[in-house]
Amino acid sequence: MFKLILRNSLRHRLRTALTILGMAIAILSFGLLRTVVDAWYAGVEGAAADRLVTRNAISLIFRLPLAYLNKIKAIPGIKRVAYGYWFGGVYIDEKNFFPQFAVELQNYLDIYSEFVIAPEQRQALLKERNACVAGRKLAQRFGWRLGDIITLRGTVFPGNWELVLRAIYQGAEETTDETRFFFHWDYVNETLVKNTPAIANQVGWFISQVEDIDRAPLIAAQIDDTFRNSLAETLTESEKAFQMGFVSMTKAIVVAIQIVSYVVIAIILIVLANTMAMTARERQEEHAVLKTLGFQGRHLVVLIAGESVAIALMGGVVGLIALFPAAHYFRTALGNYFRVFNVSDQTLLICLVIALMVGLVSAIFPAWRAARLSIAEGLRRIG
């Protein structure tokens, strides 16, 4: 049976080659789109369970008083606390976007231990008021070296801010974001105190590291209870939930990508089903002859389904082979927007399962017709 399936698959080589190519393109497209979705959620998956984020209960764009810091530190179960603000500056041109944060660096780097910095660089970073640290990928993108002067044109905080690159961090894991940029919040706040005191001594959020992960929900509730009925009430949530809030803003885009990926699979399913129906129709007389030789309906089902699955799997394997160089190209071109763009084992498995299912589903109708075909009806077409 295997030999017959292989010979039938290669009988019309042009048709088979085009079908395999179509299947390969479909699997390649599905794999890429799924990898994009995985990359979209990379920040959520990389969140730590022992970190809590406290922000203004109304919205992240509303500030919190720095005076909240000591009250949060006093809550039992909190190991350390840092704070930060989204800076939103422009480097040379608006197209050079990258995440920029003014933070309390010492505790912030202790909390985010996945940002690995050489000891001498860390010491220089903490000592100098206008020092900054950049991720390895970000430094490579702009060709920055230690000691370079990096000037940011403020949007949230107007003015030109000159920073000295004193450290370059590397990710402890492959999934660690190496495209971020941090500098001292005090450097910004000192200028605000002089020029715009109305917005000085205010931060965007607090990051708390808890000692016991199991008590994290209780501690989050205690933080919010501490500032209930204040002028700036808080919302404290896990880092994962906080990151998910950003992803939910673009949920419509993610859903659209997912719909497109399944539409691609549906189209190739229709194409392969039409190919197998046409093939089975061309071979009706051959199926009738096989039945006269003693083949049963189940044998014809195996022949047709086997040919369909073989073609689908060949196309799926070709698509998966092409997926890796395609993902590498996308990672190179879009590395500034996605922290991680790797093809996961789950994506590979899903693509293979889809190829198998497309092959099986495409063969259902032609196999059913061939199994029910009578010898007389099949032989009637001869001559």
Residue 52 lies in a domain: no
pLDDT at 246: 65
Does residue 246 belong to any structural domain of this protein?
A: no
Mean pLDDT within 18-47: 83
| Residue 359 to residue 272: CA distance in whole angstroms | 8
pLDDT at 348 over 60: yes
- Identify whether residues 188 and 75 lie together within a single domain: yes
Does residue 286 lie in a domain region?
A: yes
Q: Please state the rounded mean pLDDT for residues 339-355.
A: 86
Taking the complete model, does pTM exceed 0.85, yes or no? no
Quote the domain boundaries for residue 115.
58-232
Nearest-angstrom CA–CA distance, 301 and 5: 11
Whole-angstrom distance, CA of residue 132 vs CA of residue 194: 22
Residue 203 shares a structural domain with residue 132: yes
Query: Is there a domain that residue 367 lies in?
Result: yes
* 38 in the same domain as 63: no
Same domain, 255 and 227: no
Residues 259-263 have a mean pLDDT of 88
User: Helix, strand, or coil here: 54?
Assistant: strand
Say if residue 8 is in the same domain as residue 102: no
User: Is residue 226 domain-shared with residue 263, that is, in the same domain?
Assistant: no
Q: Is the pLDDT of residue 383 over 50?
A: no
CA distance 113 to 116: 7
Residues 83 and 134 grouped into a single domain: yes
> Which residue in 35, 43, 40 sits closest to 261, CA to CA?
35
What integer pLDDT is reported at residue 335 of this predicted model?
62
Number of domains observed in the structure of the chain? 2
Instruction: Identify the pLDDT of residue 65.
Output: 94
User: In this structure, are 260 and 217 located in the same domain?
Assistant: no
Asked whether the predicted pLDDT for residue 176 surpasses 70, the reply is: yes
Same domain, 341 and 218: no
Task: Measure the N-to-C terminal CA separation of the chain; round to a whole number of Å.
Answer: 27
The reply to whether 189 falls in a domain is: yes
Q: Does residue 260 sit within a domain?
A: yes
Categorize the per-residue pLDDT at 121 as very low, low, confident or very high, splitting at 50, 70 and 90. very high
47 in any annotated domain? no
Which of 201, 232, 263 is the last residue before a domain boundary? 232
Q: What is the mean pLDDT of the chain?
A: 87
Q: Please, which pLDDT band fits residue 338 given cuts at 50, 70 and 90?
A: low
Among 178, 198, 232, the domain boundary falls at 232
Do 94 and 224 lie in a common domain? yes
pLDDT score of 13 more than 70? yes
Residue 46 has pLDDT above 70, yes or no: no
Q: What pLDDT, on the 0 to 100 scale, is given for residue 345?
A: 87
What SS3 state is found at 82?
strand
Rounded distance between C-alpha atoms, residue 127 and residue 187, angstroms:
12
Lowest pLDDT segment from 59-63, 131-135, 339-343 = 339-343
d(CA 154, CA 329): 33
User: Which phi and psi (to 5°) does residue 259 adopt?
Assistant: -65, -45
Please indicate, yes or no, whether residues 217 and 314 belong to a single structural domain of this protein.
no
Same structural domain, 193 and 334: no
Q: What b/e string do you get for 287-298 counting C-beta neighbours within 10 Å, with b at 16 or more?
A: bbebbeeebeee
Q: Is residue 366 part of a domain?
A: yes
